[in-house]
Amino acid sequence: SYVLTQPPSVSVAPGQTARITCGGNNIGTKSVHWYQQRPGQAPMLVVYDDNDRPSGIPERFSGSNSGNTATLTISRVEAGDEADYSCQVWDSNSDHPWVFGGGTKLTVL
Amino acid sequence: LQLQGSGPGLVKPSETLSLTCTVSGGSISSSNYYWGWIRQPPGKGLEWIGSRYFIGRTYYNPSLKSRVTISVDTSKKQLSLQLSSVTATDTAVYFCARQVYYNGVGVSGPFDYWGQGTLVTVSS
């Protein structure tokens, strides 16, 4: 089945830019979705279809996807952005079509 | 739209885990959505369990396929999960979620709405 690889942790100071990567074989040919999950809460969609935002998600959240790497970028990071972030794709030709990355813990210093 | 999961928080080894997710504020019969279950073991990442379309197409994680059944009751607006022969490794928070389906092009989109999650512990 398709494998998505994320770094376990990313740290950034308030006001700076955080970049969280999601690696996969030719992931640039797939649509990537990103979820934010705070402790004890359900995941929340923050970016879908590579770079679209659901209603209510700040413009500070953006995404890109090319080659073997997709990236979630959070600009002007705030303390409230501290959470786990997971990427997800749909692999249409697989018997395991919905795949999540292992998640990245974003720490705001 | 709201998804409310429910079910026992403690299941004995070798028994069957049964959870229900009730959908309110929207239709469970729309052709634009799948309905899925995802779990998260303590301290670990998200694992897709399975997904069902309202007209019966169902997909399961191959690693769980022999033990999983997902069903939809459109009259009750409920999604159900059954996982048989559970062991301690099935201890996790279980989430139900709605998945967007771009019906016109036959492409699956994101999980856009999630239930609050139900912690299920497998222990005697």
pLDDT score, position B107: 84
* A44 in contact with chain B, both atoms CB, cutoff 8 A: yes
Residue B2 exposed, middle or buried by CB count within 10 Å (0-12, 13-18, 19+): exposed
Provide, as residue numbers in chain B, all residues whose Cβ is less than 8 Å from the Cβ of A49: 109-110
- Under the phi-then-psi rule, with left for phi > 0, alpha for psi from -120 to 50, and beta for the rest, what region is B102? beta
B54 has a pLDDT exceeding 80: no
Distance of CA A56 to the CA centre of its chain: 17
- What is the band of B87 on the pLDDT scale with cuts at 50, 70, 90? very high
pLDDT score, position A54: 96
Q: Note whether A100 contacts B45, CB cutoff 8 Å.
A: yes
- What is the band of A1 on the pLDDT scale with cuts at 50, 70, 90? confident
Count the Cβ atoms, other than its own, within 10 Å of residue A79.
8
- What is the band of B56 on the pLDDT scale with cuts at 50, 70, 90? confident
**Helix-, strand-, coil-residue percentages of chain B, each rounded to 5:** 0, 55, 40
* A95 in contact with chain B, both atoms CB, cutoff 8 A: yes
Q: What is the mean pLDDT of chain B?
A: 94
Q: Which two structure tokens, joined as six digits, stand for B87? A: 């062991």
Residue B7 exposed, middle or buried by CB count within 10 Å (0-12, 13-18, 19+): middle
Q: Which two structure tokens, joined as six digits, stand for A75? A: 């600009």
* A49 in contact with chain B, both atoms CB, cutoff 8 A: yes
Q: Which residues of A, range 1-40, sit inside 8 Å of B by Cβ?
A: 1, 31, 33, 35
Count the Cβ atoms, other than its own, within 10 Å of residue B13.
12
Q: Note whether B48 contacts A99, CB cutoff 8 Å.
A: yes
Percent of chain A with pLDDT over 70: 100
Q: Are B79 and B109 in contact (CB under 8 A)?
A: no
CA–CA gap between residue B34 and residue B53 (Å, rounded): 5
| HSE-up of residue B61 (Cα within 13 Å, Cβ side) | 18
- Taking only the tens place, the pLDDT of each residue in A61-92 is 999 999 999 999 999 999 999 999 999 999 98
Contacts (Cβ under 8 Å, ≥6 apart) of A43: A35, A36, A37, A86, B46, B95, B111, B114
| Chain A: closest CA distance from residue B60 (Å) | 7
pLDDT score, position B2: 95
Percent of chain A with pLDDT over 90: 93
Q: Note whether A43 contacts B112, CB cutoff 8 Å.
A: no
Of the partner residues A54, A86, A98, the one whose CB lies closest to the CB of residue B51 = A98
